[in-house]
């Protein structure tokens, strides 16, 4: 994992108006280098005057001398440059998120925006439909399109005209998803398990890729320097593995084009990605702000390791709340799906004792926010000494299960492993109830259930026997006759074997003043 970006942990405080995309567009408007700094009415009069000066009278019938001719030639070239400046216009432009091979989000009104010359008329043609607008006093323009339906992956052409013409080709209509976070989201297919197999099979004409380069700014930006690409073996190699596997599953199930936008940075804490009413972080400014008006279906998120190292623990609950609510506000979608990965166990001293379990609880608590989901990964870590588990395909698939069940409404999809719900003390035993266990529970490896501990009022935990009884787990220990609480997989190297019948793993938990949710 890359070192934490400690200098980016505190969001930069900005005036609220600085978060306005329209203001960002006007401030960053691209103008010609010859654009005159005086009003256009004055430009016309000056142009006429200069033209008259250049054309006044016949040439003198005598030799002016070489030096005089050179001086007049320089003046002439200066006047010609001024005339060019007076006639120059700012070309119609679009941010780079609009381009050939892009996917437009289906089912919601769309917004195209860009810059042009002040007062310039802009037209947009999409198929048989035409739309128009006029650039405002700062040169900013925007055109709203009604919601579009997916049409089986049909390729479209979009033409935008002003003083110049922009043609966007091979445009698809489907679903667009953002993948963000730190290194485990950034981790490429080329670095991941079964890379050759997955890269070779990554030719999907209906999946499109957009990778946002790493940029940090004090203020929200209007554009990002990249372009859309088709999903192919050549283009996928260095793209986010988790996001690709997620998108591939959605594409296969929904039979619609899928656009994937990767915006991640290894080693980053959560704070630089956050935008609140009072300010925004540098990574948000450079890597999210430029696309907030580009409609998307939702977001997947894989981050938290750096915040464990920073000993944020349970405080991560509030940080996730700020992140999710902030993104939903700027994307103008209060119900935007936000599915995240519960970070993997890592047996390294950089994680202080108790900090990883505390952050796990914070991630479970985030499930209390609507339209969220969490993929548990304790069972797919092959090397506890590696903070970057190489199995990224199961991570992407588990995130996709949440999306299919919750966002797409697919019936019969098991989207989570068991999540702790309630406990009941019965004599010397504690009975545990779980969400997402309606089909029953089992041991993943067929062995006795592992990683359970039990304690009495004194809080001294001892290893416990755990037995599945229907949809419950019953926990006890011979030395604890009056139990009060249970812990499950509550340490940084935990790899428990409890799962549901579908094989999805149970999340770590503790029962004392538990704050976690279940995402039901």
Number of domains in the chain: 4
Whether the pLDDT of residue 439 is over 70: the answer is yes
Whether the pLDDT of residue 312 is over 90: the answer is yes
CATH number at residue 346: 3.40.50.1110
Question: Is there a single domain that holds both residue 178 and residue 165?
Answer: no
> Using an 8 Å Cβ cutoff, are 174 and 256 in contact?
yes
Question: Is there a single domain that holds both residue 18 and residue 76?
Answer: no
Q: How far apart are CA 27 and CA 63, in angstroms?
A: 52
CATH number at residue 158: 2.60.40.10
Q: How far apart are CA 237 and CA 38, in angstroms?
A: 51
Tens of pLDDT along 104-163? 999 999 999 999 999 999 999 999 999 999 999 999 999 999 999 999 999 999 999 999
Question: Is there a single domain that holds both residue 82 and residue 221?
Answer: no
Average pLDDT over residues 387-398: 98
Distance of CA 317 to the CA centre of its chain: 19
pLDDT band at 199 (very low <50, low <70, confident <90, very high): very high
Question: Is there a single domain that holds both residue 284 and residue 343?
Answer: yes
Which of 72, 87, 102 represents a domain boundary (last residue)?
87
Q: How far apart are CA 189 and CA 245, in angstroms?
A: 9
Q: How many residues does the chain have?
A: 520
Q: How much is the pLDDT for 82?
A: 45
Q: Is residue 19 part of a domain?
A: yes
Q: Is residue 520 part of a domain?
A: no
Question: Is there a single domain that holds both residue 212 and residue 236?
Answer: yes
Nearest to 421 by CA among 460, 373, 367: 367
Question: Is there a single domain that holds both residue 387 and residue 475?
Answer: no
Q: How much is the pLDDT for 67?
A: 53
Indicate the range of 21-35, 198-212, 337-351, 418-432 predicted with least confidence.
21-35
Q: How far apart are CA 339 and CA 298, in angstroms?
A: 8
Q: How much is the pLDDT for 27?
A: 35
Whether the pLDDT of residue 173 is over 80: the answer is yes
pLDDT band at 31 (very low <50, low <70, confident <90, very high): very low
Q: How much is the pLDDT for 74?
A: 60
Selected residue with higher pLDDT from 425 and 66: 425
Question: Is there a single domain that holds both residue 209 and residue 319?
Answer: yes
Query: Over the chain, what is the mean pLDDT?
Result: 88
Whether the pLDDT of residue 518 is over 70: the answer is yes
Question: Is there a single domain that holds both residue 100 and residue 79?
Answer: no
Whether the pLDDT of residue 286 is over 90: the answer is yes
Question: Is there a single domain that holds both residue 95 and residue 202?
Answer: no
> Across the strands, what pairs with 475?
430, 466
Q: How much is the pLDDT for 465?
A: 98
Q: How much is the pLDDT for 472?
A: 97
Whether the pLDDT of residue 73 is over 90: the answer is no
Q: How much is the pLDDT for 49?
A: 43
Question: Is there a single domain that holds both residue 261 and residue 165?
Answer: no
pLDDT band at 90 (very low <50, low <70, confident <90, very high): confident
Q: Is residue 29 part of a domain?
A: no
Nearest to 215 by CA among 96, 334, 341, 90: 96
Tens of pLDDT along 332-377? 999 999 999 999 999 999 999 999 999 999 999 999 999 999 999 9
Which of 170, 198, 214 represents a domain boundary (last residue)?
170
Q: Which domain holds residue 69?
A: 40-87
Question: Is there a single domain that holds both residue 58 and residue 99?
Answer: no
Q: Is residue 479 part of a domain?
A: yes
Q: How far apart are CA 195 and CA 391, in angstroms?
A: 10
Token pair 């592992």: residue:
450
Spell out the alpha helix ranges (H) of 136-229: 183-186, 195-200
Selected residue with higher pLDDT from 55 and 194: 194
Q: How far apart are CA 133 and CA 438, in angstroms?
A: 55
Extended beta strands in 85-203, E state: 103-105, 110-115, 121-126, 129-134, 140-145, 156-161, 165-181
Q: Is residue 34 part of a domain?
A: no
Average pLDDT over residues 71-97: 63
3-state secondary structure of 461: coil
Whether the pLDDT of residue 8 is over 70: the answer is no
Which of 126, 143, 170 represents a domain boundary (last residue)?
170
3-state secondary structure of 211: strand
Q: How much is the pLDDT for 453?
A: 98
Whether the pLDDT of residue 222 is over 70: the answer is yes
Q: Which string of DSSP letters, residue by residue, matches 67-102?
A: HHHHHHHHHHHHHHHHHHHHH--PPPB--TTS-TT-
């Amino acid at each position: 994992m890359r070192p934490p970006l400690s200098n980016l942990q505190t969001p930069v405080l900005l005036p609220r108006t600085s978060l306005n995309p329209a203001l960002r567009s006007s401030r960053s408007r691209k103008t010609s280098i010859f654009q005159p700094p005086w009003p256009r009415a004055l430009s016309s009069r000056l142009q006429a005057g200069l033209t008259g000066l250049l054309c006044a009278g016949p040439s003198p019938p005598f030799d002016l001398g070489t030096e005089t001719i050179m001086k007049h030639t320089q003046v002439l070239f200066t006047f010609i440059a001024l005339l060019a400046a007076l006639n120059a216009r700012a070309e119609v432009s679009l941010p780079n998120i609009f381009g050939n091979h892009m996917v437009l989000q289906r089912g919601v009104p769309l917004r195209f925006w860009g810059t042009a010359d002040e007062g310039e008329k802009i037209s947009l043609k999409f198929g048989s439909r035409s739309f128009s607008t006029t650039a405002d006093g700062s040169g900013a323009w925007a055109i709203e399109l009604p919601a579009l339906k997916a049409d089986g992956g049909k390729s479209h052409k979009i033409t935008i005209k002003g003083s110049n013409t922009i043609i966007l080709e091979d445009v698809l209509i489907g679903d667009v998803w953002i993948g963000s976070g730190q290194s485990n989201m950034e981790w490429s297919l080329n670095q991941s398990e079964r890379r050759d197999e997955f890269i070779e099979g990554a030719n999907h004409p209906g999946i499109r890729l957009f990778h946002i380069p790493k940029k940090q700014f004090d203020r929200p930006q209007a554009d990002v320097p990249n372009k859309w690409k088709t999903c192919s073996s050549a283009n996928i190699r260095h793209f986010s593995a988790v996001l690709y596997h997620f998108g591939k599953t959605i594409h296969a199930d929904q039979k619609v084009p899928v656009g994937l936008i990767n915006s991640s940075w290894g080693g980053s804490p959560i704070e630089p990605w956050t935008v609140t009413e009072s300010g925004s972080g540098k990574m948000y400014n450079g890597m999210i702000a430029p696309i907030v008006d580009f409609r998307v279906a939702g977001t997947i998120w894989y981050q938290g390791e750096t915040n464990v190292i920073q000993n944020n623990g349970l405080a991560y609950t509030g940080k996730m709340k700020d992140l999710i609510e902030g993104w939903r506000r700027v994307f103008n979608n209060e119900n935007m799906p936000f599915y995240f990965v519960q970070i993997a166990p890592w047996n390294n001293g950089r994680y202080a004792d108790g900090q990883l379990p505390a952050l796990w609880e914070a991630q479970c608590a985030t499930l209390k926010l609507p339209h969220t989901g969490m993929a548990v990964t304790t069972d797919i870590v092959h090397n506890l000494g590696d903070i970057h588990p190489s199995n990224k395909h199961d991570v992407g698939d588990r995130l996709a299960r949440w999306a299919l069940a919750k966002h797409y409404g697919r019936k019969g999809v098991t989207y989570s492993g068991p999540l702790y719900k309630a406990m009941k003390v019965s004599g010397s035993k504690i009975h545990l109830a779980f969400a997402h266990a309606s089909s029953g529970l089992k041991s993943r490896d067929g062995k006795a259930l592992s990683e359970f501990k039990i304690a009495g009022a004194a809080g001294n935990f001892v290893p416990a026997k755990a037995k599945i009884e229907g949809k419950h787990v019953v926990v006890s220990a011979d030395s604890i006759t009056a139990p009060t609480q249970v812990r499950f997989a509550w340490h940084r190297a935990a790899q428990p074997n409890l799962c549901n019948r579908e094989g999805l793993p149970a999340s770590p938990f503790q029962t004392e003043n538990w704050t976690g949710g279940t995402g039901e």
